[in-house]
Amino acid sequence: MDYRVRSLAGAASGASKIDWAGTEMPVLKGIAERFAHEQPLAGVRISACLHVTAETANLMLTLAAGGAQIRLCASNPLSTQDDVAAALVAEHGIPVFAAHGETTLEYYADIDAALAHHPHITLDDGADLIAVLHTKRSDLLADVVGGLEETTTGVVRLRAMARDGMLRYPVIAVNDAMSQHLFDNRYGTGQSTLDGIMRATNILLAGKVFTIAGYGWCGRGIAMRARGMGARVLVTEVDPLRALEAVMDGFEVLPMDHAAPLSDIIVTATGQRDVVTSEHFAIAKNGCILANAGHFNLEISLPALEALASGKSRPRPNLEEYVLRDGRRLRLLAQGRLVNLAAAEGHPAAVMDMSFANQALCVEFLGAKGPKLEARVHEVPIEIDQQVARLKLAAMAVGIDVLTADQVAYATSWISGT
């Protein structure tokens, strides 16, 4: 079997992590059981470019249970759990191409390897595999019936491609599913970003001035949790509707150059580049902590920070302290990479349970309907979204009401008055 992992030695440890994560993923587990029985993916070849974690491993096992042939590479060099990669290879016979801390060269080589079996379906987290498929490996496009993309950042890229007529197969924006928004971005990233900051710094959040750049789903989640931990939360935005929502939610909204001198902590979650840059470093409060919760490590301008600094140390893991020429110290977490993945453990398993249940059902949908879909970005079918929510509520033993026949009739009728 073809694969590239750091070592197979950690397979037992990885298998135990996969099992543990599995106990927190009851929705995906239920789907795996149905897939094993129905084999909806028999003969389907899948290339997946995702964070190689214990939760992702459970998605791979679910798809494999449904009959799929999978090759997996990493969507981020720093998020790979080497023992999990080893376990997938050694215990489950799934080819993985990923190693923690790999170089950019290795990263792209691994994407190539993941594509080698001529996929029918692609799974992406940041659209890197799709990008390779549309440029260097466009020879493989003929076999592809569809793909999934799970980040906002990736979806923006794909929409741009579709607008330019460059997207060659249908892609479902799994990230736009309601069940995904709720769990992955709002609640998942909200909690894990705070978790990452606490692990990296062990600072008390209560009473701190905590600025969040971006009030999208992730930003809202972080803002809600930062306030929940007792911080005074400021928000910066470029979109007037989001800015207004933040104001109405009771947050102080202001431009970054007003926020920087007030902030004890600044977290970026915009999907943009250069959100905190030299003009802000120049006026930031002494001791300010800088972290990024957006997909790429471009949101905090690292080159500008390096250029301004006269010294640098690492007093704690995942925390680098830059000393500026005027003596102020700025503290960068996780080198500006996703702080929840690098300094904490990424999304909790329960979050990924929802996301990956969603993805498993979307893969099944693409297997059946992909060939008939237009080559553009598609939303997750509402039925899949509701099915995931329904399975989750059942797993939590939460009961809800059911419309009566009269109520159904009322909801669909238009002849009734005051």
* H/E run at residue 314: strand 309-316
Q: Does 82 bind its own copies (CB under 8 A)?
A: no
Here the tokens at position 147 are: 């793909």
**Angstrom distance (rounded) from CA 354 to CA 393:** 11
Token digits of residue 400: 């809800």
Does 225 sit near its own copies (CB under 8 A)?
A: yes
The only residue of 4, 71, 120, 157 in contact with its own copies, by rule CB under 8 A:
157
Interaction of residue 339 with its own copies, rule CB under 8 A: no
**Beta strands 69-74 and 45-50, pairing class:** parallel
Enumerate residues 276-335 that contact its own copies by CB under 8 A.
287, 296, 315-316
Least CB distance from residue 41 to its own copies, whole Å?
Answer: 25
| Amino acid letter, residue 325 | R
Instruction: Show the site string, 14-53: x = touches its own copies by CB under 8 A, - = not.
Output: --x--xx--xx-----------------------------
Which part of the chain contacts its own copies (CB under 8 A), choosing from 32-40, 64-72, 122-130, 370-378?
Answer: 122-130
Q: Of these, 1, 104, 105, 142, which contacts its own copies (CB under 8 A)?
A: 104
Residue with tokens 């840059």: 277
In the complex, the smallest distance separating the C-beta of residue 166 from its own copies, rounded to whole angstroms, is 7
Least distance in angstroms from the C-beta of 295 to its own copies: 9
Q: Which residues pair with 324 in a beta bridge?
A: 309
> Is-contact 219 212, C-beta < 8 A?
yes
**Joined tokens for residue 27:** 């929705």
User: If binding is defined by CB under 8 A, does position 411 make contact with its own copies?
Assistant: yes
Contact (Cβ atoms closer than 8 angstroms) between residue 225 and residue 193: yes
Nearest distance from C-beta of residue 291 to its own copies, angstroms: 16
Question: Shortest distance, CB of residue 1 to its own copies, whole angstroms?
Answer: 26
Cα(193)–Cα(184) distance, rounded to whole angstroms? Answer: 12
By three-state DSSP, how is residue 415 classified? coil
Helices 382-395 & 349-369, crossing angle to 10 degrees?
140
Q: Is 136 in the site for its own copies (CB under 8 A)?
A: no
C-beta closer to its own copies: residue 63 or 350: 350
CB-nearer residue toward its own copies: 69 or 152: 152
Considering the rule CB under 8 A, would residue 249 count as an interface residue with its own copies? Answer: yes
Pick one of 42, 160, 307, 368: the residue that binds its own copies (CB under 8 A): 160
Helices and strands (DSSP H and E) totals, the chain: 18, 15
